[in-house]
Amino acid sequence: MNNLYRKAFKFAVMTITILTANLLTGVIGDLLTKYKSHYKPLTYTLIAMAIITVILYPLYAKLEIWLTVLSSKIVRSGKSLGGRYLGLFVSFVVCIFILAYFYARMWYHIDLLGILIHGKILDYF
């Protein structure tokens, strides 16, 4: 059983890490594209690539460590509420919801929390 939990935990942490890193990459890319009209195409491309590397390299290097520590704390707190597996599941769902909120905000400029509160979630599926 412990091996199953370890695999589930690793899957949850890896999924959250991938989605968080992709979200941050998208945000940084969106910020950079606002300035692309100020430079010639190749100049902008090289500058943007350098900025992305300088920002994301250390972030990627630390992100999995930070998320593992954060996930461990979340799961430990969830574990006390409903057991180890339920705590992991609830923590994973909460993290996915938070990421979905920011993705929906970034891609469609919608407030997922507001949609849920007003009971209009089915209008968006």
Nearest 5°: CA angle at 120, between 119 and 124? Answer: 145
How many domains, the chain? 1
Per-residue pLDDT of 47-86, as tens digits, reads: 988 988 888 788 777 776 776 677 667 666 656 666 777 8
User: Residue 44 belongs to what domain range?
Assistant: 2-124
Q: How far apart, in whole angstroms, are the C-alpha atoms of residue 34 and residue 97?
A: 28
| Angle (nearest 5°) at CA 31 between 27 and 32 | 120
Q: At residue 96, does pLDDT exceed 90?
A: yes
Residue 32: which H helix or E strand, with range?
helix 2-33
The residue-averaged pLDDT of 89-115 equals 91
